[in-house]
């Protein structure tokens, strides 16, 4: 069975219309979740807690898309 891991993270942005963080050292890592539905619930909770700050935004990253198990070597493995 293939795992479809999702990372939920967020923080304060320089500009609320862009996706650049004000300080990458202050990024809030909510967690890694086994499916999109669980990640969405975590994202929604984090977003609701910070709704009063227009510069704070949370994202869901699809970790399973970073590595293609069908390919012999991913582009990140070729860097090392």
Q: Which two tokens stand for residue 68?
A: 């293609």
**pTM of the entire structure?**
0.78
What would you measure as the largest C-alpha separation in the chain, in angstroms? 46
For tokens 């539905």, the residue is 37
**Residue 25 belongs to what domain range?**
6-71
Q: Find the Cα–Cα–Cα–Cα dihedral 51, 10, 31, 61, rounded to 10°.
A: 120
Per-residue pLDDT of the chain (80 residues; tens, 9 = 90+): 677 899 999 999 999 999 999 999 999 999 999 999 999 999 999 999 999 999 999 999 998 887 666 655 555 555 44
Q: For Cα atoms 70, 68, 41, give the angle at the middle one, nearest 5 degrees.
A: 135
Question: Is 53 inside any structural domain?
Answer: yes
CATH of the domain at 18: 3.30.70.2400
Q: Which of 47, 50, 54 is nearest to 18 (CA)?
A: 54
């Amino acid at each position: 069975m293939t795992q479809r891991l999702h990372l939920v993270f967020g923080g304060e942005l320089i500009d609320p219309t862009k996706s650049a963080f004000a300080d990458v050292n202050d990024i809030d890592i909510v967690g890694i979740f086994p499916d999109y539905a669980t990640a969405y619930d975590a994202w929604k909770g984090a977003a609701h807690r910070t709704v009063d700050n227009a510069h704070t935004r949370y994202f869901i990253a699809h970790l399973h898309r970073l590595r293609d198990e069908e390919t012999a070597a991913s582009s990140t493995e070729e860097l090392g």
